[in-house]
Each structure stands twice: as structure tokens, then as C-alpha cells.
Structure 1
Amino acid sequence: MDKKLIGVDLGGTTIKFAILTAAGEIQQKWSVETNILDDGAHIVPDIIDSINHHLALYDMKPEQFIGIGMGTPGTVDIKAGTVIGAYNLNWKTKQDVKSAIEAGTGIKFAIDNDANVAALGERWKGAGNNADDVVFMTLGTGVGGGIIANGQMIHGMGAGGEIGHINVEPNGYLCTCGNKGCLETYASATGVVRVARDMAEEFAGKSELKRMLDDGEEISSKIIFDLAKEKDTLAAMVVDKVCYYLGLAAANLGAITNPAYIVIGGGVSAAGKFLLNQVEDYFQKFAFPTVKTSTKLKLAELGNEAGVIGAASLALAFK
């Protein structure tokens, strides 16, 4: 009988699980709520209990699995299997995740940062077509991602692939990291709204977005993109500026790694081809000539399943 993989995608509100074949096909999936009380002390025991419960439910044994892979927020020591600084999980101190889960399940365990894991998922079974060189940019509450070169995830000394903190506007918006002008401050869901508020102050023409902002209505990146699609002048200007920064960052990433694909995912990417085409225009403007013709920009294909699929792929190292 072919051995299986378990993928775990640990988030601040839910923990997603999946049992997959060694080829990356999902066979079962489920989720539980993330209990972050008591400094996140319940999270790892809940993961162990949920895996053991479902293995009993499906009449499966630990020896039927190659391993468990998990993506998590925070700073990960891959070799030690520890996590620190995952504040949305209330993990304020170092968590020894690997040893606890291996002891609790009897299955080998591997872990990486959640953005890296999503990148691995898109590379393996999504828009990356399992190419050796893929960059994944995820545009959500922040901007994250991962860089895969020669088939290996780039970690550097721990902060490799911090795509959201590429500087695209020296002395620009202040970022939560303490620097100014990071891509995240312009191209995240909150960054898009920030750009809109600033541009609205100087905009004097007719615009529904301008009216909404002036009236103090709640706006989101989705509203801005929807209005831009309807040819709202201010919204179109905002989207153009955001795509300028994304295209610039993509061109710089292309110059460093010349990947087969730069894949764009996350909530903001729901704007689809409308976003991608404008990013592509700026990418073509800024990219190194060889990169323009060899690197392709694509939208992510796996959605919420990228995390569990990419996490499961970590366990393939145990084959």
C-alpha cells in the first residue's frame, strides 16, 4: 500500500488538515478552530488530538504515512522544528513543535513558514508547474511569499524570501517592520486602501471612490478594484500605482532569480486578469531583457489548498 502524507496549515483562526497521496492529491481534509488562549498552549495538543482522532476515524496507522508537514506563522528554525514570534497565535516564546508532534503522533514531522509552504504548494501542484525556479507573491493582509531556486526553497539566514519587504519607494510609507517604503505598505489589502486615501486628498475630479472616502464610508481593496474595473478615475489611478510597485518588485525578483514563473496569489489577486495584466505591463517595462521573455507572470491556482499541499510536500524529504 502506498504511503500517504499529512499537510497542516496553521492559521490564526483555523487549522486546516489534509491527507494526501505521495503525488500530492488530496484524499481527505478537515479543519478545527485555532484556540490561542493561554499563550497558545492548546494549539499543538489540539493538532495532535485532531490527527490521532482522524487516523482512528479512517482506521489508519502512523506507519502508513511518510510524514507530516506543517506551515505556520512566525520565524521557523527548520532543523530544530521550533517557532518563535507567531504573535497572532499568542506564541510569545519559542515553541518546540516538532518534538511534541512526533512524540504525540508517532509520525515524522517537518515545518516551515506559512508563506514558504504556500509557495511550495503552488510550485508543486498549482501555477508553478513543478518548475525548479518559481517565485510566489501572496497579497493579503500583508505581502508574503517564497522563492524556490534550483528546486530548493531560499531561506538564507532565516529571512530569505521576505518579498513584502522589498523596498519599492525609499522614504515611503512606514512599515510594521520599522523601515519605510516596503512593498507590503502599498500592495497588501491594507496598503491599497492607504494609497487610495492619500491619492483622494489630491484628487479633484468626479469619482465614486472619492465620494465614499470623503463621506467616511468603509472601503476595501476589493471595492477599489471593482470601481477601477467600472472605469472610476480615482480607483483606476490607485490600481495603476499599486500595479506599478508590484511590477517593479517582480522585475527585481526576476533579475535575481530568473524564475520560470512568478505566481501572484492571496486575497488581492482575486482581482484576477485585471490585476495581472497591469502588473505585467510594468514588469515588461522594468525587467531585464532576457527575463522579459523567459519569466512568465501567472495567477495562483490552488486558493486555500496551497497551504496544506505545500506543507505535505515538506514531508517528502522523509521518503
Structure 2
Amino acid sequence: MTAVIEVKNLTKHYKQTNALDNVSLSIEGGSIYGLLGRNGAGKTTLMSILTAQNFATSGDVKVFGEHPYENARVLSRVCFVRESQKYPDDATPGHAFRAARLFFTNWDQGLADQLIRDFQLPMKQTIKKLSRGQLSAVGVIIGLASRAEITFFDEPYLGLDAVARQIFYDRLLEDYAEHPRTIILSSHLIDEVSNLIEKVIVIDSGTILLDEDTDTLRDRAVTVVGDAAKVDAWATGRDILHREALGRVASVTVLGHLSDAERAEVSASGLDLAPVSLQQLIVRLTQKAGAETQEVR
């Protein structure tokens, strides 16, 4: 697939901190990306630079082959939905949607109307008086109904309850299936979005820790559970991500793909294999990277 975003050696420096540290990545068109990482990892900074709402200290950014800053050809094809979006004091959701309809050429009013009903959004209330969940719904509706060629969702659903978040996920998948585009979904609710995303980018302390297809990433680790002595013997020499024990039972998560023969050997030893969720894997990899960084220092 053709890359719609190219980032090379991108750095953003704030006083004593590198929010982004020599980041390079390529984002292909027609995929749903998960931009994952803990709070303060650099996710919002990266998206802000890609959408020309922030400046890089150094490095190069290309969106649709062009620099996005003050570039109407690029920005008219991009939608950035962020939790901290500001609106005029007297603006209602209707004002926000009418403005979005004028800006985004692919705007679908029918979809917007459906989402307004789904989220039970009070249209006559001013945005500044909306609850946090209702404010999140405004952003979600704009992001989906815009049908922009590239849409960034920067944790826009934090105020939504579980039911409303599921509505968002369902509507996103339904509309993406009918109208494919590039969606970058920033989140720390990894398990919730794991079934949505096709590609994973994990950012930690301003650097790219992972950039892989979701299916490939899921196959990178396995957990073995059973008698502690047998588990430890099996894990000897392997790249251990995490170990925990309760009494004589231990659980070890290791990096690496197991062949069919290796899996059969584990079963024959009386040990059990357990899948590693995407969230568990990313958390453990992030912890491992952090520990290795501390050792270097």
C-alpha cells in the first residue's frame, strides 16, 4: 500500500524533555492504526505535528507527500479529533457540526444525524455546558461523519461510558468497512481497541517501541503456566518478559514464536500454554524497555 504519512528523524524538544526523540515511521493508506502508549509518551505531540497544530524541533514530516503546515491541500483531507478541543462559549453542537460540514468535503449529514441519536446528544445545549461524555460525543461525531481521508482520534472517548464507547467502536467499524480510509486511534485502553486496529504503533518516552501488524505482534509472545521448577527450566535461555508465582505454580511470559513441535513439548511436560493479550504484551514490552533504559543510564 502507498504511504500517506512519512516521518523521518522527528524530534520535539520542550525545555529539558524530548517529547519526541528521532522518530521515524510510515503510515499506509486504508488501515486502522492504534497509536498506543501510556500518558505522556508523546502520542498527542506526534499527532499535533502531523496535523500542523505544533512544530517540530527537527526532522521531516510529509502528509500526502507534502508538508502539512499552512497547506490547505493537505489539511482539508485530514481530521484531528482531540479531547481538549476548544469551542466558542456560545457554540452548540449544531454550530460545530455545521462548521465541520463546510470544511470537510466528504461530510455525511445522514451519518451525523444517526450518531446524534445514538449518543442522545442535546443539540440545543451550549457545548461549554455539556457533560464530559457529551463533549466527547461531539468529537466522535465530527471524526466519523467527516469521512476525512486521514482521521486522528486522540483519546476522544475518555468521557464516554462503556455503552457509548461500544457505540463508537461499532459505528467506526461499520463506516470504515463501507468507506475505507486511514484512521489513527490513540488510546491507552488497549484491550478495548485491540479488535479494531490492524496495525500497532507503540510510543514510549518519545521513541517508537513497536511498529507492526497486529496479528504479527500477537504472535510475538506466549505464556507458559505450571509447576514452577518445570516452567523455569523451560524458560532458561529464553527472552523473559514477565514472571510471577503463587506457591509452587509459576507463570512466565516469553518473547518468541513457538513452533508446533515446541508447543507439543510444552504440553508433554505437563505445562499449559496461555495466550498473551495485546495489552499484556504492550505493557510488558514497555516495562522491559524502561528497565533497559534505566540500566543504560
Q: After TM superposition, is the score higher than 0.5?
A: no
The answer to which structure has the higher strand fraction is 2
The answer to which structure has the higher helix fraction is 1
| TM-score for both structures, normalised by structure 2 | 0.31
Higher RCO, Cα 8 Å, sep 6+: 1
| TM-score for both structures, normalised by structure 1 | 0.29
Question: Which structure is larger by alpha-carbon Rg, 1 or 2?
Answer: 2
